[in-house]
Amino acid sequence: MKTSFGNRFKELRQERNIGQRELAKPMGVGKGTISMWESGQREPILPYAVIAAKFFEVSLDYLAGLAEY
């Protein structure tokens, strides 16, 4: 089941034409972790959510589905 985080994370990645493997490096995780976040199989712990928010220049609330841009 996809989550708000997973949907938004994937959407942001695709908007920037970044592959999962390419994104995994600056996030400090493996490609499989990116895939699990996007599919909703796992949620990132807070430090990784913060890294993602900074990388994509969005708020944590946006990534969590609590706010619009």
Q: 69 lies in a domain?
A: no
CA 1 – CA 48 distance, rounded (Å): 20
**Does residue 31 form part of some domain?**
yes
Number of domains in the chain: 1
What local confidence, expressed as pLDDT, does residue 1 receive? 55
What confidence tier does 2 reach under pLDDT thresholds 50, 70, 90? Answer: low
CATH of the domain at 52: 1.10.260.40
Q: Supply the range of the domain harboring residue 49.
A: 4-63
Q: Is there a domain that residue 53 lies in? A: yes
* 17, burial (CB in 10 Å: exposed 0-12, middle 13-18, buried 19+): exposed
User: In this predicted model, what pLDDT tens digit does every residue of 6-64 receive, in sequence order?
Assistant: 999 999 999 999 999 999 999 999 999 999 999 999 999 999 999 999 999 999 999 99
Is residue 3 predicted with pLDDT exceeding 90? no
In a domain, 20, yes or no: yes
Determine, yes or no, domain membership for 68. no
